[in-house]
Structures are given as structure tokens and as C-alpha cells.
């Protein structure tokens, strides 16, 4: 948190834009992605502080995506994490720019103090995960799927981009920076594929039966927006089973080298309430 706030505060940017960025970055996010990236690096035997700037970059990209996702032309959500969405608090124009600024700042911080070939590779991987090989493509597919029936494969493709890519990048950066073998990288990626999909399914479950106060937003919004969700596809019971199967698969994937923290995190996410 300190590094994120310090980086934004010292920017030579218009005050309003900085306020909007700080508002969203400090609005109570769980910090799952940066924690996951740093934890992977630690499990692989390194000091997590060494990749703090990459961890901040991934959180900035995540925050940008949420600011833009809430805009009227996207999901049109007034509330996020129990507070007004960025565009409600600052206006659509400033929110759009705050999102843009956060995305570009992510690449600024990722390239700060990084001059190794591995670091350059990580910046490339981050760009791919955020853009057309990942989240950006998933968001577009999601928009195009509204108000029509899609297949199970299409649903998975949407979330592979929208949600899983930004979780998987955490493993990819940690593995690249730790210089581990292809075998270990694949195992870490499998862990992320599994917890990433489980995370989305749990998100859909919480949108149906979650506690609005804990979630900080109204439930049933997917249904009201005519969205295809895992719950509308498979029903609650099957979704819970699917989350458990994916969680076990994640834990198995990293069992050779996990110190227990990765399995604990996977189990926590499967039962999360917000």
C-alpha cells in the first residue's frame, strides 16, 4: 500500500486526477493479485520485496479495469467495495482518465529500477495479460455475450481473459523473475488457471447469494444485466462442487514445492465472502 500511494502521490499530475486514482486504489481492494505474485516468489525461494514494483503494477492494472468496468458504457455500476464508483465520485470524464492514467502508470512502475532481460520479459507478459491476449479480449467477448445464450466454452473463454489472465500473470512474473524451470512455471500456471476460474465462479455465486454489506454492492446485478454466469449455467450446487474440484486441482498442481501458503490461499478463496 505504501509503495502504491507514494508512487501516485509523487506524480506531477493534475490534483483531481491524482485524487481519483488515490480514491480507487485505496478503496478497500483485497490485493489478491500483488499478494499472490509476491507469495509465489517467496515460495520459489526469493525475497518478495524484490518484485514489489511488479506487484504494484498488477494492482494498478486491476484497479484501472474496475474503474472502466463500472462506467455507464460498460457494467454501469454506481457502487464498488461499499463506496461510490470512481465516476460517481469524480464524474465520467475524470474516471475515464484516472483509469487510463492507472494503466500507463502500471508500466511506469513496472519499468522502474528493472533492467534485466527477465524484467523486460515480464513487462511484455503484463501487457499481454492486460490487453488483447487476456483481460481486454475477455471484456470485449463479455460485452458481446449480453442478452444472448452462449455456450459453456464461450463462457470459459470470456473468463479465461477477463479474470484468469490477471491472476495467471502473477505466477508468470514470479516464475520469470525467479528463473525457474518450465516445469515449475507450468505447475504455477495450472494453479492459477484453477484458482482463477474458481474465483470467477465464486464471484458469480456471491452475486446470487452473497451479503450485500460484505460485498459492498447490490447482489443480483448479473441477472439484472442479462449476463451469462456460472450460476445461470450450472446452478448453485454444481458451482460449489466445481469450485471445490478446481481448488483441489490447484493445490495438487503445486504440491511439490508449496510451503502450505498456496494451498491455504486457494482454500480461503473458495470460501471467500467478498
User: Nearest distance from residue 81's CB to ligand GRG, in Å?
Assistant: 5
Axis crossing angle, helix 92-110 with helix 2-9, rounded to the nearest 10? 110
CB of residue 1 vs ligand GRG: minimum separation in angstroms?
13
Tell the burial category of 28 from Cβ atoms under 10 Å away from its Cβ (0-12, 13-18, 19+).
exposed
Q: Does 136 bind ligand GRG (CB under 6 A)?
A: yes
Instruction: Choose the binding region for ligand GRG from 27-35, 111-119, 150-158, 259-267 (rule: CB under 6 A).
Output: 27-35
User: Min. distance of Cβ 209 from ligand GRG in angstroms?
Assistant: 16
Among 129, 135, 174, 188, binds ligand GRG (CB under 6 A): 135
- Name the segment binding ligand GRG (CB under 6 A); options: 130-138, 229-237, 243-251, 257-265: 130-138
What values do phi and psi take at 84, rounded to 5?
-60, 140
- Judged by CB under 6 A, the chain residues 191 through 250 that form the site for ligand GRG are 200, 203
User: What is the contact mask toward ligand GRG in residues 59 to 78, using x (rule: CB under 6 A)?
Assistant: ------xx-xx----x----
Q: How many residues bind ligand GRG (CB under 6 A)?
A: 17
Q: Residue 131 or residue 249: which is nearer to ligand GRG going by CB?
A: 131
Round to whole Å and give the CA distance between 168 and 67: 21
Q: Which stretch binds ligand GRG (CB under 6 A): 1-9, 14-22, 115-123, 132-140?
A: 132-140
**Which residue in the set 1, 30, 91, 257 belongs to the binding site for ligand GRG (CB under 6 A)?**
30
269 SS3 class? helix
Tell me how far CA of residue 28 lies from CA of 120, 164, 214, 274, in angstroms: 30, 21, 12, 11
Asked whether the beta carbons of 20 and 94 are under 8 A apart, the reply is yes
Smallest gap, in angstroms, from Cβ of residue 34 to ligand GRG?
Answer: 10
Give me the DSSP letters along 70-84: HSTTTT--SEETTEE
Q: In angstroms, give the least distance from the CB of 200 to ligand GRG.
A: 6
Contact between 163 and ligand GRG per CB under 6 A: yes
Cα distances from 25 to residues 3, 80, 96, 182, 269, in angstroms, run 11, 12, 14, 34, 21
List, in sequence order, the alpha helices (H) in the chain: 2-9, 15-25, 32-43, 52-70, 86-90, 92-110, 117-130, 135-145, 152-159, 165-178, 182-209, 212-215, 221-224, 230-253, 261-270
If binding is defined by CB under 6 A, does position 36 make contact with ligand GRG? no
| Contact in structure between 122 and 157 (CB atoms under 8 Å) | no
Nearer to ligand GRG, 29 or 249 (CB): 29
Among 3, 13, 29, 233, binds ligand GRG (CB under 6 A): 29
Name the residues that contact ligand GRG, by CB under 6 A. Answer: 29-30, 32, 65-66, 68-69, 74, 81, 131, 135-136, 139, 162-163, 200, 203
Amino acid at each position: 500500500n505504501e509503495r502504491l500511494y507514494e508512487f501516485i502521490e509523487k506524480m506531477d499530475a493534475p490534483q483531481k486526477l491524482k485524487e481519483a486514482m488515490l480514491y480507487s486504489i485505496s478503496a478497500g481492494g483485497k490485493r489478491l493479485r500483488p499478494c499472490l505474485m509476491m507469495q509465489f516468489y517467496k515460495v520459489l525461494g526469493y525475497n518478495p520485496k524484490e518484485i514489489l514494483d511488479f506487484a504494484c503494477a498488477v494492482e494498478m492494472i486491476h484497479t484501472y479495469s474496475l474503474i472502466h468496468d463500472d462506467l455507464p458504457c460498460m457494467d454501469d455500476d454506481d457502487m464498488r467495495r461499499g463506496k461510490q464508483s470512481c465516476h460517481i465520485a469524480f464524474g465520467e470524464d475524470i474516471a475515464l482518465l484516472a483509469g487510463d492514467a492507472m494503466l500507463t502508470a502500471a508500466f511506469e512502475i513496472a519499468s522502474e529500477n528493472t533492467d534485466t532481460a527477465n524484467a523486460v520479459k515480464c513487462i511484455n507478459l503484463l501487457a499481454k495479460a492486460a490487453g488483447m491476449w487476456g483481460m481486454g479480449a475477455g471484456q470485449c467477448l463479455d460485452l458481446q455475450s449480453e442478452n444472448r445464450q452462449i455456450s459453456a466454452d464461450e463462457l470459459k473463454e470470456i473468463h479465461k481473459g477477463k479474470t484468469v489472465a490477471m491472476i495467471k500473470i502473477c505466477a508468470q512474473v514470479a516464475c520469470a523473475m525467479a528463473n525457474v524451470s518450465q516445469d515449475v512455471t507450468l505447475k504455477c500456471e495450472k494453479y492459477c488457471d484453477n484458482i482463477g476460474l474458481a474465483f470467477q465462479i465464486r464471484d458469480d455465486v456471491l452475486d446470487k447469494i452473497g451479503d450485500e454489506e460484505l460485498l459492498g454492492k447490490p447482489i443480483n446485478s448479473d441477472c439484472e444485466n442479462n449476463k451469462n454466469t456460472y450460476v445461470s449455467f450450472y446452478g448453485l450446487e454444481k458451482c460449489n462442487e466445481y469450485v471445490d474440484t478446481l481448488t483441489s486441482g490447484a493445490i495438487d498442481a503445486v504440491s511439490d514445492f508449496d510451503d502450505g501458503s498456496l494451498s491455504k490461499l486457494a482454500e480461503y478463496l473458495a470460501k471467500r465472502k467478498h
